[in-house]
Chains A and B, each alone.
Chain A
Amino acid sequence: MTITGPAGLAVASAGTTTLGADSALFGNVVSVGNVTLNARANVQGNVTTQASFFHQTPYTIAGTLSTSTSVSPLFDQVLTVEYPASSTPLNVEPNQVVSASPGAYTSLNLKGGSKLTLSPGDYFFDSATLESLSELHVSDATRPVVLHVKDQFTMRGSLPDA
């Protein structure tokens, strides 16, 4: 598979970063912990780690490999999320098609075959699960949709136009 796109920060990890065999990543990797590339892993960008680099062979790093390199120049960002109170789940049953507005929900559950369209804005969930064959759409791709998930997040559905 040919992957094209702009180089940039694709993966940033505060811990370790692992790319599996035959994985391909177009972008840069910045990792505080070790970076491991398994066989035939392909990074079309730079790899920077504050720790060590491990790999199987063969592997590809098209850009620069930097180990034991401080990543401190990147901005130290505090993220604070305050979850509003809610008692309403957002459950979409199989083959159901619904829309939702920004707000707080106890959970997000998209069953197989369901479709949910979100308006731009902030959504707050305790947990989120998108089952296989579910679809999550956005009504306006030009404006951001932010989903805050307090804990468990599993995504097996598709995001066709996210």
Chain B
Amino acid sequence: MPELGIVDMREIIRAMKSDFDYDFGNYALTSLKQRLERIMVMYNMGNAEGLIRKLRNDNNFFDTFLYEITVPSTEMFRDPSLWRWLSEDYFPGVEDKNTGKIKIWLPACVSGAELYSLAILISESGLQDKVHVIASCLSNKSIEVIKSGLYDLKKMEVSEENYKRVYSAKELSTYYKPGHNYALRDTRLIQNVEFKKLNINFDNAPQNIRLILFRNSMIYYNPTQQEKVLHVIYNSLSPSGYLVVGIREKISGINTGRDFEFINETESVYRKRILS
């Protein structure tokens, strides 16, 4: 297995920046190193130069690279108690007060685990006509994978268990068909979803969002990038909009922390605070 040194990492980051204008310099070093090494194993590259050469010579490879560098969610309905909270507390509340459509944004979709979980919740709550979901991805390949409905079959067992903890009387299997290695998810669930391809700084982020689901994505950034992206997230939220991050992600330690207040500390749900 190839092991990248600090010099190799710098070379790769520099090449990505100069050739593609994607700056991974503020990604967390350990996980970035592991993702890069994983790609090198997948594509049989012995060293950093091999990877850089492939990026420069093969036009289609960059999008694949962006797909593989991002980490998909571990499973559907991860942290069932959050999904229960969304279904029992959050959605009933927003439905009443709001006249227009509730805009929900998932900034960093990879395999669509969070997106399909949300879509199932919306369907179960009968809110299909009252919400507008925007899913943004770093790569076109992510968008294709999500739209195709294909999903890693190995992740279905734990997803089923999670789903049962959200809806004790129901089966997740009504929403997918098991195939050979893949599960085929019911793509009707996402037929009204708006897909967007955004870069790593989320330039041209959507606006007036009522709820942002952004769990376990910022853990792949260093504190500098976390702060930068949180700023974008803050600006995307409507007044008193909600942000959900992973349960071991803390945003109060960063400068922008004063801009958010806790709504549900156990599930890491924050509300945008309007500064006077």
Indicate whether A and B interact. Answer: no
